[in-house]
Structure 1
Amino acid sequence: MAGGATAARGPGGPPGRKVPDLTTGPIGRTLILFALPVLATNILQSLNGSANAIWVSHVLGEAALTATSNANQIMFLMLGAVFGLSMASNIMIGHAMGARDMTAAKKVIGTSTAFFIVVSLSVGLLGALLTPHILTWMGTPEEAKRDAVAYLRVIFSAMPFMYFFSYVMMAQRGTGDSRTPFYFSLLAVGMDVVLNPLLITGYGPFPKLGIAGSAYATLVSQTITLVAMIVHLYRKGSILVLRPGEFHLLLPDLSIIRGLVLKGLPMGFQMMVTSLAAVTMMSLVNRHGVHTSAAYGAASQLWTYVQMPAMALGAAVSSMAAQNVGAGKMDRVEQVARSGVLYALVFTGLPVVAIYFADPWVLQAFLPGTSPSLPIAVHINSIVLWGFIPFGLAFIFSGVVRATGAVWPPLLAMIIALWGVRVPLANILEPYLGANAIWISFPIGSFTTLLLAWAYYVWGGWRTSRMLPTTPPVTDEPDTGFGQPMIEEAEVLAEAAERAEPSRSSPSAPNRPGS
């Protein structure tokens, strides 16, 4: 239906938007064009966290920075708890989009939406109730604990909105759209950065909330942005929204729930394993006093930026590979992996080198120049930073194999690297090397992760795994001439409707499951 795309309409809605087709066109260019908005989104979110850390540190002191560092580790752990579910939804949607099976895509969207609402509300409520016990278990320094409780309780209240915002962004990437999530992340971060100092210091008509003000800024900005993004998707007629006549799709489809759980939980566990290891390492760091904890918190702010290019590329290769798996183009999937590895090597190595040269000056954004924590942070980076290069390459290999539904091997690799190598090594060597044992364990664990991820990519059985039963389309859409072919969402919906009517179906078009 190439000629009638603009006239086609989705059921009960306006004409669909065009979104990138990740199954055709130059791989390197397509990967970069998709990854750049993801990277920009990650940068925005990290700048937001850094801005918050700067305000907290300079206005409220190092104890407050330690409090937010401890609380943020818990926040990332909780976000990891549902990351896998959103990633599973992303991959399922990508498979359906690659196969042009919009019936399956809509079913995944409906079930995932209902599932996320229940999970996000449950985690937020339980977390708020258990906040003091969680921080006690972490060994949070007493001088920072009161602030950490005040901060973390508000963060848990914001988590339902943060979870759902993250889910909607991942779903959009599954359709091939990474730009819209960036625009709304820009809105969220802008509001958060503006509200942070106002609510911390009580400027003008705003209440003076101290460290809790930083968390309230996140709550307000995430809530407003989530509502705005949903309104935008409805106005644009996105495939992701449900309209009258489609709300029955919110009733859980057990086969999709099964896929979300069986495939999503291992990916979520991987994030949780990583976050839990980070929490454990934070507990080890806390043994060495508030100055070392503050130094670790400041250094870890920079680590976030170093990891961002590989994380963005990992997300991009997963979305791109998922659509190509759905389209039956496994040769293209392996080309995506090769391009991703090359880009990750370059774009992770560059910030590592830059920080090695500018470390003392960059760290002064988070720590005063006279702080006793500053030389400790410089020393930490001198040992830890290079290890993010192999870790970045592992992101690519794991992202590709997960896109087919092979989710357990990356989880096992991460468990071995973190809990079989990094954490035990830090504990065993700490009596002899002190805090240096913690720093040394980071690059050793990262190299182990890369070795295991690469071995499974080369010799594992991921190429035959599938997350969603779809039939690849028999034809490809033409290239737009810009290296980024486009799919008209409404066109694909109309094609699916035609295939459902035998009298109008093309004889050569295969039947889709659920059509």
Structure 2
Amino acid sequence: MTQPASRSPSAAKRRDLTTGPIGSTLILFALPVLGSNALQSLNGSANAIWVSHALGEVALAATANANQIFFLMLGAVFGVSMAANIMIGQAIGAKDIAAARRVVGSCTTFFLALSLAVGAAGYLLTPAILSAMGTPAEARAEAITYLRVIFGAMPFFYFFTFLMMAQRGTGDSRTPFLFSALSVLLDVILNPLLILGVGPLPRMEIAGSATSTLIAQTVTLGAMLVFLYRRGSILVLRPSEWGLLKPDLVVVRALLLKGVPMGFQMIVVSVAAATMMGLVNRYGAHTSAAYGAATQLWTYVQMPAMALSAAVSAMVAQNVGAGRMDRVEKVARVGCLCAIVGAGVPIALLYVLDPWVLRAFLPGDSPSLPIAIHINSMVLWGFVPFGVAFIFSGVVRATGAVWPPLLAIIIALWVVRIPLANLLEPTLGADAIWLSFPIGSCTAVLLAGGYYLWGGWRKGRILPTTSPRGEAPDTGLSPPAGAKDVEPATAP
């Protein structure tokens, strides 16, 4: 006999995002996502501090070069993880637990195979990759050592990313935050111990920094799997359900067709950022340092919109699955308002406190400091429309409409921002670069908003939620073969 819904351990931990107040639900869901993003950024800053102080600038240059590859690999898998998140969310919203389990099984196999392939290929190709990047000769040996350990950790990073996104698809953003905090804590503690060889630990120098990340990620992933298994999560298959690990071609096809464009969007942004850095470097070390300090602040300014976009996608996916398009429109409106406030408030504070905040990255007497203040005076406000564009893109992506957001960001960056900077540079100098940022952001919000208002995304679905071979959708009244913890659907 099936347990009542109120007593099912799995149901108790899944959050229904298709009912209840939208504003508070969205904010409460977004806050842990924001916390996870902030922790990852702080972790990277802490690791850089340890490497630079303990091993010197050459080691820091080595990690900086290696991390460019690492972030590119994570960005590439982000899109596929987001596609899995959306498919799981739509299935949960439709109360189709069988479809959700099929997605989990196929995605588990897909991510394991992908991560192992990337890890092995990356380990072998590390020297060639760093040569292609033009890594400085004096930093090359240390960069190879560091990056090879990171590629060894790639299977754990990829599967951890998948589980984090999948949990958000089920309506749970708190658990990913807690395990992200555990991973960061372990990494921060182990970094100096393994770099310096404290106590019985070996002195590993730059390899110690990468190894601390590997250990932290592996331990946290294991702890998360145990936790999810013990609480009856649908994200961890029982032995009787291992047949679901056989890839479902419909799921894999959706992962690739929808995930690859979203991943490519991250690559487009990364390459555009590198291109803009090249333009900035023309103006010398002081301007480059000022730009680097300013971008440190931009990272945190963008975090609320990024967290809200992830929350909006999860909410919209469940409501699309439940057929609640009325709530989808409300989620979009509330999300845009929250993005405006979330970006506007810190930007307003920075305009007042900028000279003092920037001194965390630049000495008070540095000639770069006034340049950084000038850069922020021209650029910061543009993150408000850019944040709203994030929300529109998060809404339409949750239905499976992945190409319009990609085209919007390509046009904003490669048709408007970068060409505009080059076109105006002879007249305005470096100001042409700074001016191109808000103009590109306004272009992005106009394109994303236009598609939201008039595009055909409302009819989209990323994956049918009916069971295979013509069976009726799983309503929870009877569990699928081999499942023991499927709960009945609750009323919408």
TM bracket, shorter-chain basis: 0.7 to 0.9
Kept in 2, the 8 Å contact 1:132–1:149? The answer is yes
- Specify whether residues 41 and 229 from structure 1 end up closer, same or farther in structure 2 by C-alpha distance, changes over 3 A only: same
- Write the mapping of 1:50-61 to structure 2, written as runs, cut at 5 A: 50-60=45-55
- Specify whether residues 294 and 226 from structure 1 end up closer, same or farther in structure 2 by C-alpha distance, changes over 3 A only: farther
Equivalent-residue separation in structure 1 for 2:56 and 2:285 (angstroms): 11
Aligned equivalent of 2:331 = 336
Equivalent-residue separation in structure 1 for 2:49 and 2:251 (angstroms): 43
Aligned equivalent of 2:246 = 251
Q: Deviations over 1:46-89 (max 9, x none)?
A: 21122223334455555655554444333222111111111111
Equivalent-residue separation in structure 2 for 1:372 and 1:144 (angstroms): 28
Equivalent-residue separation in structure 2 for 1:375 and 1:205 (angstroms): 47
Q: Which runs of 5+ in 2 are unaligned?
A: 467-473, 483-487
The amino acid that maps onto 2:171 is G
Equivalent-residue separation in structure 1 for 2:112 and 2:330 (angstroms): 37
Equivalent-residue separation in structure 2 for 1:255 and 1:320 (angstroms): 23
Equivalent-residue separation in structure 2 for 1:369 and 1:58 (angstroms): 21
Aligned equivalent of 1:424 = 419
- Write the mapping of 1:170-249 to structure 2, written as runs, cut at 5 A: 170-249=165-244
- Specify whether residues 264 and 153 from structure 1 end up closer, same or farther in structure 2 by C-alpha distance, changes over 3 A only: same
- Specify whether residues 210 and 387 from structure 1 end up closer, same or farther in structure 2 by C-alpha distance, changes over 3 A only: farther
**In the alignment, which of 383, 389, 392 is matched to residue 394 of structure 1?**
389
TM-score, with structure 1 as normaliser: 0.84
CA apart distance, 1:264: 1.1
Equivalent-residue separation in structure 1 for 2:159 and 2:168 (angstroms): 14
- Specify whether residues 286 and 146 from structure 1 end up closer, same or farther in structure 2 by C-alpha distance, changes over 3 A only: farther
Q: SS at the partner of 2:19?
A: coil
Q: Deviations over 1:143-164 (max 9, x none)?
A: 6555544443333332221111
Which range is displaced more, 444-453 or 316-325? 444-453
Aligned equivalent of 1:484 = none
Q: Deviations over 1:411-441 (max 9, x none)?
A: 1111111122223334445566555444333
The amino acid that maps onto 2:193 is L
Aligned equivalent of 2:477 = 495
Aligned equivalent of 1:83 = 78
The amino acid that maps onto 1:5 is A
Counterpart check, 1:36 vs 2:31: yes
Counterpart check, 1:125 vs 2:107: no
Equivalent-residue separation in structure 2 for 1:77 and 1:198 (angstroms): 28
Bigger relative contact order, structure 1 or 2, given CA contacts below 8 A and separation 6+?
1
CA apart distance, 1:269: 1.1
Aligned equivalent of 2:469 = none
Equivalent-residue separation in structure 2 for 1:331 and 1:247 (angstroms): 38
Q: SS at the partner of 1:20?
A: coil
Aligned equivalent of 1:315 = 310
Which range is displaced more, 431-440 or 74-83? 431-440
Counterpart check, 1:382 vs 2:364: no
Counterpart check, 1:271 vs 2:266: yes
Q: SS at the partner of 2:14?
A: strand
Aligned equivalent of 1:4 = 4
Equivalent-residue separation in structure 2 for 1:374 and 1:56 (angstroms): 25
Kept in 2, the 8 Å contact 1:102–1:496? The answer is no
The amino acid that maps onto 1:234 is Y
**In the alignment, which of 95, 100, 109 is matched to residue 105 of structure 1?**
100
Kept in 1, the 8 Å contact 2:95–2:476? The answer is no
CA RMSD of aligned residues (A): 3.0
Q: Which runs of 5+ in 1 are unaligned?
A: 9-13, 472-491, 501-505, 510-515
- Specify whether residues 41 and 299 from structure 1 end up closer, same or farther in structure 2 by C-alpha distance, changes over 3 A only: same
TM-score, with structure 2 as normaliser: 0.88
Equivalent-residue separation in structure 1 for 2:454 and 2:27 (angstroms): 27
Aligned equivalent of 1:327 = 322
Percent identity between the two aligned chains:
70
The amino acid that maps onto 1:318 is S
Counterpart check, 1:153 vs 2:138: no
- Specify whether residues 202 and 390 from structure 1 end up closer, same or farther in structure 2 by C-alpha distance, changes over 3 A only: farther
The amino acid that maps onto 1:311 is M
The amino acid that maps onto 1:394 is A
Equivalent-residue separation in structure 1 for 2:181 and 2:452 (angstroms): 35
Kept in 2, the 8 Å contact 1:70–1:282? The answer is no
CA apart distance, 1:126: 2.7
Kept in 2, the 8 Å contact 1:307–1:388? The answer is yes
- Specify whether residues 194 and 265 from structure 1 end up closer, same or farther in structure 2 by C-alpha distance, changes over 3 A only: same
